[in-house]
Chains A and B, each alone.
Chain A
Amino acid sequence: MPARLSHLDVLESEALHIMREVAAECKNPVLLFSGGKDSIVMLRLAEKAFRPGRFPFPLMHIDTEHNFPEVIAFRDKRAAELGERLIVRSVQDSIDRGRIKLRHENESRNVMQTVTLLDAIQEFGFDACFGGARRDEEKARAKERIFSFRDEFGQWDPKNQRPELWDLYNTRVHPGEHMRVFPLSNWTEMDIWQHIAREKLAVPSIYYAHRRDVVWRGGWLPVSHLVQPREGEEVKNIMVRFRTVGDMSCTCPVESDAATAEAIILETAGSRITERGATRMDDRTSEASMELRKREGYF
């Protein structure tokens, strides 16, 4: 008998199986790559699934232009290293073309990505989009299928999901409809970091502890051109790292000294706050905010 498989081996094999099913059954898939840690793991899994061949799909990033510059630089470098095609569609373009109306200039662009994403899916005629979402992230995601059907408006109907049995995935859609496919559904934040450590994956530097100017607004917010200190706010320079990398205007770092993947694993094991709870101001709006966004077609 070969050596016993670890939980990471089993999760990895499941993800490879999912990716290969999409490659075999869907006509025009795409992998959503943001430069964040989950999508970095997805790229390694795609290498494991398809090498020595090329990826049977392009990569696509929906760029809010509120991203951390380190993440965008990482995104471009990684796509180039892999020699795979990267499509970028920008929320700013959607704003300029009048597809999105802003209420104020520096508003969070997380929600707006949905418009740009659905437009891009239509533009290229994608019938399957790989996403890096995990079920441990959030309550609504906990109920979403690995192969999540979207109607012709890109919408998710949580009460009317296809039953998902064994690992026999029903990939069939009519023209105009599509699938969101989540190979990391069964992974947790801990599994992701264990995989990053095991595979020695490079991630954007802001995931590791560094000094940064922040202001306190119910959570530490990084000072940037989008977040300027207000009257009476004290700017502090502290050691932080980011647990998620999203829109700079609403993504909070956590105080940390963890400078390696191994140190983050130790910190994650002791953490008492969920990943999104610690870092995403936009998720705090209401108990249902992710569910509502997902219904509209969000990632």
Chain B
Amino acid sequence: MDLLRFTTAGSVDDGKSTLIGRLLYDAKSIFEDQLQAMERSTERRGGTGVDLSLLTDGLQAEREQGITIDVAYRYFATPRRKFIIADTPGHEQYTRNMVTGASTANLAIVLIDARKGVLTQSRRHAYIAQLLGIPHLIAAINKMDLVDYSEAIYHTIKTEFSAFCTQLGARDVSFIPISALHGDNVVDRSAHMPWYTGDTLLNTLEGIHIQHDINLRDFRFPVQLVCSPQISGRPDFRGYMGRIESGSVRAGDEIVVLPSGHRSRIKHIVTYDGNITEACAPQSVTLTLEDHIDISRGDMIVHPENPPRSAHEFHAMLCWMSEQPLQPRGKYLIKHTTHTAKAVVQEIEHKVDINTLATGEASELKMNEIGRVLIKVQRPLVCDVYRNNRASGAFIVIDEHTNNTVAAGMIAAV
């Protein structure tokens, strides 16, 4: 059984909470005590029956206001797959949450209200999914029950949204007409839409190929910790602990350590369960080398044939997440793989209007704004361009004084 992480974007009105509730309910992942709690809440608010959207309301403030304020994670499994849902609110001011949910996802579900068609918000969700490099997109055209399950309306929306996704460069987009409220095409096939011959939402989620979502070509091993325990019996043991972020490695492989450029060979791939001959992303392992060379946290072990770049200066897309706007010439910390460096934002090259996708000049980036910047770092970053490698192309920006995470960054060009 493998693991698929997906994000759902949409506002309360799109029926996003109802969709998740429906998916969990029909996949038999809602428990009786949760159902009873939902019944009680529905009654307290003057409704009857079970309002499935209540399952995803987490915090007291949200229950009082009937809104979602933050990313919530949900879990369910079918015999074919385990799923992690990052459930993010869709309002404009919560771009930061959408980006957060999208950062770890293999797939995004964009909800489109069949009555309203493709809205600015739907485009915004697709744009963020694409910006964050989510490999698969599902456009779930919801509330089909309210448009008489009309095939014509479905096709109009599909054509328009398809064109937009092509413009973004999204490759894998599926369309599914659903009614989350009544359960049509969510887990069970709809009796109302015989014209739709594709898979249900759950079947699509179960069937999408995700093995190639991780870059399996370029071996990237950022060193997290150096282990030299000085234990009796193994006084010379010196292991480099970390997680393979992309690609794979075999014992005996020739490697190069960056940024120093020292070369060696893999002696052993050590795990608690014994040495193994080969390991791949995203395994956490300990590597030992044939030669004793100086390696510390923040260094990256790679194959010499296709090394990453080493850069003092790079262009990046930033999604700003702090109340304090980004100022040009602002000094920050950047955490990239296992390496933290002082950095200065040299220039804001442009800002993206995420509603129209138009770019324009900007003197600052405010909370929830996205822009392209030029960054200079004190120590070179060993990195890849984000669209080639999510793990070695992503970074966060930290305010050194407040310690807050103030931006998500994606390396666009080196």
Contacts and interface: CB of A to CB of B under 8 A. Distances in A.
B191 to A, nearest CB: 27
Given A20-B242, A51-B272, A53-B227, A142 B408 contact: no
Contacts of B72: 142-143
A185 interface: yes
Q: Of B1, B70, B81, which is in contact with the most chain A CB atoms at under 10 Å from its CB?
A: B70
A167 B104 contact: yes
A140 B57 CA distance: 9
A274 B99 contact: no
Given A163-B405, A274-B33, A186 B73 contact: yes
Nearest to A162: B405
A158 B59 contact: yes
Contact of B70 (A21, A143, A277, A288): A143
A21 B59 contact: no
Contacts of A23: 225
A2 B277 CA distance: 9
Interface residues of B, number: 73
Contacts of A164: 100, 405
B284 A52 contact: no
A166 interface: yes
Interface stretch (A4-12, A34-42, A204-212, A227-235): A4-12
A188 B74 CA distance: 10
Contacts, number: 169
Interface in A34-86: 47-54
Contacts of B37: 287
Interface string A270-283: 01111001100000
B282 A13 contact: yes
Nearest to A20: B224
Interface of B: 1-3, 31-34, 37, 41, 57-61, 63, 69-75, 77, 81-82, 84, 96-97, 99-100, 103-104, 211, 216, 224-225, 227-229, 231, 234, 237, 239, 241-243, 248, 271-273, 276, 278-280, 282-284, 297, 321, 335-338, 390-391, 394-396, 398, 403-405, 408
25 contacts: A1-B216, A1-B248, A5-B280, A7-B1, A7-B2, A13-B243, A13-B282, A21-B224, A24-B297, A48-B271, A50-B227, A53-B228, A135-B73, A135-B75, A136-B75, A140-B59, A142-B73, A167-B104, A168-B337, A170-B335, A185-B73, A186-B73, A190-B77, A272-B31, A277-B34
